[in-house]
Amino acid sequence: MNFELTEEQQLIGQSARDFAKEFLEPIAIEVDHTGNFPKQTVQGLADHDFLGLLLPSDVGGAEAGFVSYVEVIEQLSRVLPAVASIMNNHVIAAYAIEKFGNAAQKKEYLPAMAKGETLGALAIYEDGPTPGVGDNALVATKQADGYVLNGKKTYVRNAGQAGVYVVFATTDATLGAKALTAFLVKAGTAGVAIGPRVETMGLKGCPVADITFANVVVAESALLGEVNQGSAIASQALSVFSVAEAAQTVGIGQAAVEHAAAYAKGRVQFGKPISTLQAIQTLLGEVATDCHLSRLGVRNAAWLIEEGKPFETEAAMIKSFLVRLGSKMLLDTCQVEGGFGYSEFMPLPRLFRDIAGTNLLDAPADFPDKVIAASLL
């Protein structure tokens, strides 16, 4: 592949930078402090065709491809990563519907998702060790005309704001994850209850909550893909999601190193800018290198997804790489800015909290290593 962006991809990236400057920069501090969901801003994403970047044109999408998508996510994450998280969860839910849904499901959901009229969300995780296992596992019991869902999903992003949830439930409690099946559940369906918002350390504008399902009746038409195909759908969705979250991490790291470099050039100690000190240059150089190499890894995985090639191992590699180095980027840039960088009136503490969320919230740290090892053994 060519790691350089095409002219079209560069223009899409520039459009994202302009959007972030105009619409995200003015609200970034407020969203971090209040955690309020930026509803108008999310609609602005749709108005600029960002929510439909991956969708085909016949449902109102832009068909821009995954390389363009991760470029947009990186640019948005440089300013307000919470909005990028809202977009990621929505777009990956739409991706699952577009890839595994039938014609009727695509017609019903995707045009509204591309326009921002319906926000999407993934409901995968549970209290147990894996979906489909444990006392609160979501169980789908077959009925004559559909299924009845009972149980609980945890840490659902976009919870309470989404109009449709891609929900994973086991159709056989004795088989657990082996019988995992995906369903499309509309918000407001009788028996669906959104729990109190979970207060997270970072990514404050992206709502997170548990969802309880009490005798929720869904029709046969709500089944996404085939019965017991849920584990494969979830695995692919999470792999795609991990590439998009890696782009978030790169964007946050890039914003941090650029801010630290500007600070170093303006901060004078002993009659000269601290940017002239070798220790400062070393810290900045290492973070810039980490960002650059990570960006190449993200683009490679994104290109594989776009070309329909196997990508799961590369996605796991870039996630594993950034789990180790993501927080280090912020530690190093904070060291450049010293005590000032640690102060809440500077952006680095907010970025530090946000980068922890992109690395930890949606998948355990050992997940990538298992995927990588499986490709070798």
Please report whether residue 33 resides in a domain. yes
Instruction: Round to whole Å and give the CA distance between 139 and 174.
Output: 10
Residues 110 and 31 in one domain: yes
Q: What is the pLDDT of residue 347?
A: 87
Q: Are residues 172 and 277 in the same domain?
A: no
Residue 1 lies in a domain: no
Identify whether residues 170 and 156 lie together within a single domain: yes
Residue type at position 59 = V
Contact status, residue 80 vs residue 24, Cβ threshold 8 Å = yes
Cα(36)–Cα(68) distance, integer angstroms: 28
Question: Do 108 and 175 belong together in one domain?
Answer: no
Running along the chain, 377 residues long, what does each successive block of 10 average in pLDDT? 88 97 96 95 96 94 94 97 96 96 97 96 88 88 94 95 97 90 97 95 94 96 94 91 94 95 89 91 94 95 94 90 86 87 83 86 62 83
Q: Within this chain, do residues 127 and 90 fall inside the same structural domain, yes or no?
A: no
Structural domains counted in the chain:
3
Among 100, 119, 138, the domain-final residue is 119
DSSP alpha helix (H) spans, 197-311: 230-266, 278-306
What's residue 364's pLDDT?
47
Let me know whether 371 and 241 are in one domain. Answer: yes
Which residues on adjacent β-strands are paired with residue 122? 166
Regarding whether 183 and 75 lie in a shared domain, the answer is: no
Residue 367 confidence (pLDDT): 66
Residue 281 identity (one-letter amino acid): Q
Beta strand extents in the chain (DSSP E only): 120-123, 139-143, 146-157, 164-170, 180-186, 192-197, 208-219, 223-224, 268-269, 272-273
C-alpha span between 72 and 62 (Å, rounded): 13
Query: 188 lies in a domain?
Result: yes
In angstroms, rounded to a whole number, what is the distance separating the alpha carbons of residues 43 and 132?
A: 34
Which amino acid appears at position 72 of this protein? V
Q: Which CATH number is 365's domain given? A: 1.20.140.10
Same domain for 111 and 79? yes
**259/165 Cα distance (integer angstroms):** 37
User: In angstroms, what CA-CA distances link 165 with 161, 219, 289, 373?
Assistant: 10, 15, 38, 32
4: tokens are: 């350089």
The bridge status of strand 164-170 relative to strand 208-219 is unpaired
Q: What crossing angle do the helices spanning 66-77 and 81-100 adopt, rounded to 10°?
A: 160
Same domain for 210 and 260, yes or no, is: no
| Same domain (yes/no): 131, 74 | no
User: What pLDDT shows up at residue 361?
Assistant: 66
**Domain boundary pick from 119, 148, 163:** 119
Give the range of the structural domain holding residue 14, as residue numbers without chain letter. Answer: 7-119
Predicted local distance difference test score (pLDDT) of residue 363: 52
